[in-house]
Amino acid sequence: MKLEYSDPVLAAADRELERRENSRPRRMYLGMSSGGRCARQQWFNWLWVSQRELGAKSLRAIADGYAGEDIAAARIQAVEEVVLLTRDPETGEQWAVDDAGGHVAGHLDGVVMHHPTAPKTKHVWESKVVNERSLARFRKIKGDAGEKATLRQWNPEYWVQAQLYMLHTKMTRHWMVVSASGCRDWDSCRTELDRDQAEYFAERMRSMVANVDELPERVSESPAAGACRFCDFIDVCHEGAAIERNCRTCRFSTPVDGPNWMCGLDDVALTRDQQIAGCGRHRYRAALVPGRELSVDELDVTYRLRDGREWTDGGASERPV
């Protein structure tokens, strides 16, 4: 991976950062934080169709976001009139919500009570760290459209995340603090629950779990679309790149409450390591093959591909383009 500088110590630190962070266990659930993204992108991510590794620059930005969240929380918690809880008192852990048997989940940055603009109403609290240009755009929208319309216009994905968190916590208000790097500057907005929209996106995520063998629609048929050009799965979605063979991409596995995955061949629950490793009996889910299923012979599945060819998934070859 190309680095931006030649200092050997910084280069080594970046390599170690990449090694450490990219070796972390894969996320087991569909994250509500991405609930507003392309449905197919979410489904690909949940099924582990390919392994995505982040470069040091992106990883440093993520770390800066976590650090900024801690700084913002500490400053807010110093205000005597306001209560900000970044941990659930019942569990001692980060506030968590889930749906679809645990296959859909989210983690709140916190819960705010006694906000002076609505002191009797609990708020979901979220912190976002952005660059100064993005913060300036946030402020312009807030000035033009008003506080409660700001989040949806500024970042629709964050708005959907807010709606899902409010829905699943049964709260009706959301307070987001937006900070520049290092919390050198900040602003905020409050957002109200739009129950119809929240239910729409919640149901869309539930449907991915309930209909795991159905390919969700993608946001655009053109790889040049803005949402597609920067998607981690553009090569799989638009270019027919290879898809990993693991238990989640296998037609014989099923998500069940827990959240667990069951192997239909052995009728056993699959551990995380087993899901990642897969086995020699793996056959792609039909939704991942660009064609129509013709026949099944024991384990092997034959398809009529879009270009007219026949292809049999015998478990050894890659998915055809």
User: What does the alpha-carbon distance between residue 192 and residue 123 come to, in Å, rounded to a whole number?
Assistant: 10
pLDDT of 243: 94
Query: How is residue 145 written in tokens?
Result: 């459209």
Domain ranges of the chain: 28-210, 245-313
**The two structure tokens encoding residue 157:** 């994905």
Class of domain 28-210 (CATH, top level): alpha beta
Q: Between 156-169 and 195-210, two packed helices, what is the crossing angle to 10 degrees?
A: 90
Confirm if 27 and 96 have CB atoms less than 8 A apart: no
DSSP character at residue 131? -
pTM value is 0.93
| pLDDT by position in tens, the chain (length 321) | 455 568 889 999 999 999 999 888 889 999 999 999 999 999 999 999 998 888 999 999 999 999 999 999 999 999 999 999 999 999 999 999 999 999 999 999 999 999 999 999 999 999 999 999 999 999 999 999 999 999 999 999 999 999 999 999 999 999 999 999 999 999 999 999 999 999 999 999 999 999 999 999 999 999 999 889 989 999 999 988 889 999 999 999 999 999 999 999 999 999 999 999 999 999 999 999 999 999 999 999 999 999 999 999 999 888 887
CA-CA-CA-CA torsion sign (243, 247, 248, 250) = positive
Q: What is the pLDDT of residue 90?
A: 93
Q: Which residues contact 291 (CB under 8 A, 6 or more apart)?
A: 303, 304, 305, 306, 311, 320
Q: Which pLDDT score, from 0 to 100, does residue 4 have?
A: 59
